[in-house]
Structure 1
Amino acid sequence: MTTTELKTRLDALSQPKHQQAIKGIMRGIEREALRIKKGGQIAQTPHPSSAGHPLTHNSITTDFSESLLEFITPVSENAEETLAQLRDLQKFTLEQMGDELLWPMSMPCFISNQDDIALAQFGSSNVGRMKTLYREGLKNRYGSMMQAIAGVHFNISFPETLWKSLKELTADKQTEQDFISEQYLGLIRNFKREMWLISYLFGASPSLCSSFLQGKESELPFKRIGKGTLYLKHGTALRLGDLGYTNSAQSSLKVTYNNLDEYIAGLRAAIHCHSDLYGDLADYQEANPKQLNKNILQIENEFYSPIRPKRTSQSGETPSQALAKGGIEYIEIRALDVNPFSDTGISLEQIRFLDVFLTYCLLKSSPELDFEQQRSTQINLKRVVNQGRDPELKLKQDTGEVNIVKWATQIFDDLKAVAAYMDRAYSEEHYSHTVKDMRTCIADSSQTLSGRLMSQMLEAQQDGGEIALEMAQAYKQAAAQSSYKVYSEEILHCQAADSLRKEEQVRATDNFEFRTFLDDYFAKA
């Protein structure tokens, strides 16, 4: 959508009847954090049982490795409350961890050997064993190092009032849910086109510990600082690049986002497509399985995408089954590095900027994006991941190549208008202030998260690991000295105990042998 077309839609939504339709944005955050020893090495201890059971706790669990914690907030309309909940969950868990710390970076700490990364354990129930075997498959497919990488997932849904206003203003004749799904898919396509801007602003992994490479050579033009930190001069988010959380085997998967049926069909084709790469690994039907199955994707969650359409699944239901039955309920943004300058891994300023950026992606025109066009968006992302802070960098557009600063400036002109509309609806000014503040990063890349991190590293001539360890210690001390804001220690202990009881119930209800359980699961999937 051109700026003129976006203005037309914003003007329509600014009519008295619709001007507050945007109010009521709901959000949830999933923050991953690696547990480390006080000296900075990856923790070898199991998940702290006093924090609850990772299989059944709604808010404190583990991700791919036993040391990679995941904190999940409830859905809330209040961004400050969401961050306070996240802070409380982290404070409580830190208190259960002895002298261990939370690593404040996306790329992992020093890890001498991949065997030091223990797979997450979810107990002896069938569903718990399935979760661990899935991770065994990830380990054998992609290596354990990838499973020590942390990120932040940002979940967002727009209010029913906005959908009703947009449907009325566009005179759309679909059912409300079909309209909502269509609009969310348009948002996703636009996000893919301009996701590079998020990596430019919020990428916070321009460097990594050389141990991450495990002695392998890299074609990237790394420079070295300190004892073993490798960095790219203009890098932003190595986590999203070829060295990070990617799966090259999935590059040929034709999962597109032009309509919901197309997306679901592409995803389901991938989980039923046999892979020659993994055919030699024993699956659950064989003795000593090393993966769930021999397909390109073991399950749908293995599909690595920086953004996903989502609907809350019922027990035993796959993500695509939930989408097919009920349509898109919310969007999950998976492209965010852990922000090392925030104790929660994400700041209030980031949340407000994402509100504006995602509203912009929703309201602007979103032409269909075919597979080849989608691959072109990946080229832009890769360039920004490796060279984003180079002001001479060129990115691909349909009409040719454009300078990154010029394109970012054009986007910010539109974001300014969207922020003004949102501030009028909320009777606030914080969205406009946020966009104005973030705009300074376009002219001065040193103000980005990656720029700030590299400046600190180079000025102090310090290893990235040393800086991260100092941050981790400071955050743990601050958490110990703070008080709970939303939860209480008693409530969190009760939640932990309740999760342990629920896991016992899960085990007690197992009626099948593990192989039979998986036979049934895959038959239904």
Structure 2
Amino acid sequence: MTHNNKSLALRLDRLLHSGQQHLLCGGLKGIEKESLRISAAGQISQADHPYALGSALTHPYITTDYSEALIELITPPFADIKDALTYLDDIHQFVYANLDNEMLLATSMPCGINGDESIRIAEYGTSNVGRMKNVYRQGLWHRYGRTMQAIAGIHFNYSVPVGLWQALHQQEGSTLDLQAFTAQGYFGLIRNFQRIGWLILYLFGASPAICKNFFKSRPQLMAQFEEFDQGTLYHPYATSLRMSDIGYKSQNQANLKIDYNSIDGYVSSLSAAINTPYPDYENIGTVVNGEYRQLNSNILQIENEFYSTMRPKQIAESCEKPTVALRRRGVRYVEMRSLDLDLFNPIGIDEDKARFIEALLLTCLCTDSPPVDEKNREVFNNNQLAVANKGRQPGLLLNNNGNSIGLQDWVHEILESMQPLCAILDQNNPEQPYSKALQAQQAVASNPDLTASARMLAQMGELKMPFARFGINKSAEHKNYFAGRTLKPSKNQQFIGMAQESHAKQQAIESQAQLPFDEFLNRYFTQTCA
């Protein structure tokens, strides 16, 4: 990374020389947090999404993901990460007040499931939009099974300050217009994150163990794991099995060659996958006995089916395809998807971790990012899988630009490269929150026993407790934490109002005349950016 450090210094030097380093501060941050609703006994909920929380179809901040029980809590974007975390805490308080006897599972890997049929697919009402969301999930079931999609995580959304793009555009004398230059910069950030994103798994991975029940629908996969106890499988040095190859990944997706070298290449390659038939999925059938099994039989039904550690995002208008939104209006923010739930924290993420991630993403932005080819992509994937499965293994070697390097050496090199960004982000704040967040991870880098994955396995061992019981106990602790607090009346009323408004919005959508579903899908998939 020596040449990268030089290029990092060059870009920062330009900002410092022009007195514009403050433009690195204040990028917008938002958080999306998934959690399974479970009973007090730890079983996945079979109940409807609680009515008091609003409509999962239309609520802006409280919805569901794959399963009816997989709740998703979303914050608006904020310039100060403290505000985003406060909002996430408020949502949790409101949700817990309306969960009756249920609680949110604290772990990323699911407990309390009993095969695919125990996982109820999310429902979104009778409108064409709602039906499309449900049919898409039906397709995921037929393609991958339901169990993997009960996995939960946190997505960290980050938008680079607009003023920074304008300054970099001018300083670098780009001949591109600002929208194209911004997209180019975001894709550079993404490529660099693909190079070093395994760092998130090492530092913050918190899924080193799995319930045996997770494999009830795929028992052949159990042989690759060791037995922790009668109910738990694990890898001794694993960090994030959620991000290993037991999740969404499949052979057909492994063969996809999605282009991250430009926005045009990305949109074209992703669109090709959505429009290319796949024989195995053709065998499933699209409409069988009058019922949709999937949206189509192509490699990907829609863009969201492609699993990646980071996505370029643009806010889509109603029924607008994500690729069309990107083509029309460029990249607005990136969505980092590789963060496990922190089961030691009631909301799944803390301020230090969020500040560290912001600094890491800006380091990726400010560092030279050469184009990548298929060989590079294979290296990035192999590094990620190695860290996911055995990241704490002493002496583990990774591939850095064709050279073997010890994981710990590379970690320290990356963290050192982040120091200038952290100093700027602190903006002379005497508390130095970004530098302190970096220092906290430097301590973890020097001692793998301090990682969340190691702490989790150590506590399970000391307590002689299987993963499921450990996760359920942590979930109960979090429920008690929120039970002992009271949401401000004004904030509670605000959430009640949003829930009511979302139900009214869904009813309005469903009261409108609906196109035949076949025609609705045809219009959706044939839209272009013209």
Instruction: Give 1:456's match in structure 2, choosing from 454, 459, 462.
Output: 459
Range with greater deviation from structure 2 (488-497 or 25-34): 488-497
- Find out whether 1:261 has 2:264 as its counterpart: yes
User: Which residue of structure 1 aligns with residue 73 of structure 2?
Assistant: 71
**How far 1:301 moved relative to its partner?**
1.0
Instruction: Give 2:232's match in structure 1, choosing from 229, 233, 239.
Output: 229
User: Which residue of structure 1 aligns with residue 86 of structure 2?
Assistant: 84
Q: Distance in 1 between matches of 2:414 and 2:245?
A: 27
Check 1:264–1:485 CA distance in 2 against 1; reply closer, same or farther (3 A cut): farther
Q: Distance in 2 between matches of 1:239 and 1:364?
A: 28
- Find out whether 1:292 has 2:318 as its counterpart: no
User: Which residue of structure 2 aligns with residue 442 of structure 1?
Assistant: 445
Instruction: Give 1:47's match in structure 2, choosing from 46, 49, 65.
Output: 49
**How far 1:255 moved relative to its partner?**
0.5
Q: Distance in 1 between matches of 2:413 and 2:523?
A: 52
Structure 1 counterpart of 2:28, which letter?
M
Asked whether the 8 Å contact 1:285–1:515 carries over to 2, the reply is: no
Structure 1 counterpart of 2:183, which letter?
S
Asked whether the 8 Å contact 1:88–1:487 carries over to 2, the reply is: no
Structure 1 counterpart of 2:32, which letter?
E
Q: Distance in 2 between matches of 1:169 and 1:447?
A: 42
Instruction: Give 2:155's match in structure 1, choosing from 153, 156, 164.
Output: 153
Query: Any idea what SS the aligned residue of 1:218 has?
Result: helix
Instruction: Give 2:407's match in structure 1, choosing from 401, 404, 407.
Output: 404
Query: Any idea what SS the aligned residue of 1:305 has?
Result: coil
Q: Distance in 2 between matches of 1:486 and 1:323?
A: 40
- Find out whether 1:367 has 2:340 as its counterpart: no
Range with greater deviation from structure 2 (165-174 or 379-388): 165-174
Per-residue Cα deviation, 1:232-261 (whole angstroms, up to 9, x for no partner)? 110011011111232332111111111110
Asked whether the 8 Å contact 2:215–2:222 carries over to 1, the reply is: no
Q: How does 1:92-491 map to 2 (within 5 A)?
A: 92-214=94-216, 216-218=219-221, 221-284=224-287, 287-424=290-427, 429-484=432-487, 488-491=491-494
Q: Distance in 2 between matches of 1:363 and 1:290?
A: 45
**How far 1:14 moved relative to its partner?**
2.1
Query: Any idea what SS the aligned residue of 1:204 has?
Result: coil
Q: Could you state the TM-score of these two structures normalised by the residue count of structure 1?
A: 0.97
Structure 1 counterpart of 2:505, which letter?
K
**How far 1:406 moved relative to its partner?**
1.2
**How far 1:367 moved relative to its partner?**
0.3
Per-residue Cα deviation, 1:441-499 (whole angstroms, up to 9, x for no partner)? 11211111111111111222211111211111111111122132696211111111111
- What are structure 2's unaligned runs of at least 5 residues? none
Q: Distance in 2 between matches of 1:478 and 1:219?
A: 35
Q: Distance in 1 between matches of 2:430 and 2:193?
A: 27
Query: Any idea what SS the aligned residue of 1:262 has?
Result: helix
Structure 2 counterpart of 1:496, which letter?
A
Structure 1 counterpart of 2:178, which letter?
E
**How far 1:317 moved relative to its partner?**
0.7
Structure 1 counterpart of 2:487, which letter?
Y
Range with greater deviation from structure 2 (150-159 or 447-456): 447-456
Asked whether the 8 Å contact 2:49–2:68 carries over to 1, the reply is: yes
- What are structure 1's unaligned runs of at least 5 residues? none
Structure 2 counterpart of 1:505, which letter?
A
Query: Any idea what SS the aligned residue of 1:344 has?
Result: coil
Q: Distance in 1 between matches of 2:434 and 2:179?
A: 28
Structure 2 counterpart of 1:434, which letter?
A
User: Which residue of structure 1 aligns with residue 514 of structure 2?
Assistant: 511
Asked whether the 8 Å contact 2:12–2:21 carries over to 1, the reply is: no
Q: Distance in 2 between matches of 1:89 and 1:506?
A: 25
Q: Distance in 1 between matches of 2:524 and 2:47?
A: 32
**How far 1:4 moved relative to its partner?**
2.8
Q: Distance in 1 between matches of 2:202 and 2:459?
A: 18
Structure 2 counterpart of 1:99, which letter?
N
Check 1:318–1:53 CA distance in 2 against 1; reply closer, same or farther (3 A cut): same
Asked whether the 8 Å contact 2:127–2:514 carries over to 1, the reply is: no
User: Which residue of structure 1 aligns with residue 21 of structure 2?
Assistant: 19
Structure 2 counterpart of 1:431, which letter?
Y
**How far 1:136 moved relative to its partner?**
0.4
Check 1:381–1:173 CA distance in 2 against 1; reply closer, same or farther (3 A cut): same
Q: Distance in 1 between matches of 2:153 and 2:231?
A: 22
**How far 1:390 moved relative to its partner?**
1.0
Q: Distance in 2 between matches of 1:246 and 1:486?
A: 44
**How far 1:518 moved relative to its partner?**
1.6
Query: Any idea what SS the aligned residue of 1:411 has?
Result: helix
Q: Distance in 2 between matches of 1:427 and 1:276?
A: 61
Structure 2 counterpart of 1:266, which letter?
S
Q: CA RMSD in A?
A: 1.7
**How far 1:511 moved relative to its partner?**
3.0
User: Which residue of structure 2 aligns with residue 520 of structure 1?
Assistant: 523
**How far 1:108 moved relative to its partner?**
0.1
Per-residue Cα deviation, 1:274-308 (whole angstroms, up to 9, x for no partner)? 00111112214872221111001111111111100
Asked whether the 8 Å contact 2:460–2:467 carries over to 1, the reply is: yes
Asked whether the 8 Å contact 2:206–2:343 carries over to 1, the reply is: yes
**How far 1:347 moved relative to its partner?**
1.2
Q: Distance in 1 between matches of 2:328 and 2:379?
A: 32
Asked whether the 8 Å contact 1:255–1:267 carries over to 2, the reply is: yes
Asked whether the 8 Å contact 2:144–2:248 carries over to 1, the reply is: no
Asked whether the 8 Å contact 2:314–2:330 carries over to 1, the reply is: yes
Structure 1 counterpart of 2:108, which letter?
S
Asked whether the 8 Å contact 1:225–1:461 carries over to 2, the reply is: no
Structure 2 counterpart of 1:279, which letter?
E
Check 1:411–1:322 CA distance in 2 against 1; reply closer, same or farther (3 A cut): same
Check 1:286–1:427 CA distance in 2 against 1; reply closer, same or farther (3 A cut): farther
User: Which residue of structure 2 aligns with residue 30 of structure 1?
Assistant: 32
Q: Distance in 2 between matches of 1:503 and 1:395?
A: 49
Structure 2 counterpart of 1:130, which letter?
M
Structure 2 counterpart of 1:502, which letter?
K
User: Which residue of structure 1 aligns with residue 8 of structure 2?
Assistant: 6
Query: Any idea what SS the aligned residue of 1:14 has?
Result: helix
